[in-house]
Amino acid sequence: QVQLVESGGGLVQAGGSLRLSCAASGPTFSMYLMGWFRQAPGEEREMVATINWGDSITRYADSVKGRFTISRNNGKTTMYLQMNSLKPEDTAVYYCAAKGTYAASYNYWGQGTQVTVSS
């Protein structure tokens, strides 16, 4: 069972930066795709960015392109989300998730970390 633990959330002023981390443990060799998702109060959860665990190909939501960067470490045990030029509308609980090679959807989720951007 892959376990995911997020860290790095907090309160920041608009225009500021935060870096989220997601530490993965367990059979990480079975992971194919990892991503960051977020959910604001009263809103549906949305994809923020994804990264192929093998070749590091990335994909971003239009709302964060040019501001956020997803990456992973060489040991393939930690994923990051560097968030720059933060806006109040980025306020949400951010979750990291992983999809196994043969899974139809993301089947591992972290507990979430709160990001609050004040105006």
Which pLDDT value is given to residue 102?
87
Residues forming beta bridges with residue 52, ordered by sequence position: 33
Q: Quote the pLDDT of residue 104.
A: 87
What the block records as the tokens of 35 is 């991503």
Tell me how far apart the alpha carbons of residues 40 and 102 are, in angstroms, rounded to a whole number. Answer: 30
Give the pLDDT of residue 40.
96
pLDDT one-digit tens code per residue, 42-90: 999 999 999 998 888 999 999 999 999 999 987 878 999 999 999 999 9
- pLDDT at res. 101: 84
**pLDDT for the residue 23:** 95
Contact assessment for residue 99 and residue 32, using Cβ atoms and an 8 Å cutoff: yes
29 pLDDT above the threshold of 80: no
Q: Is the per-residue pLDDT at 28 higher than 90?
A: no
DSSP 88: G
CA dihedral 98, 101, 107, 109 (to 10 degrees): -10
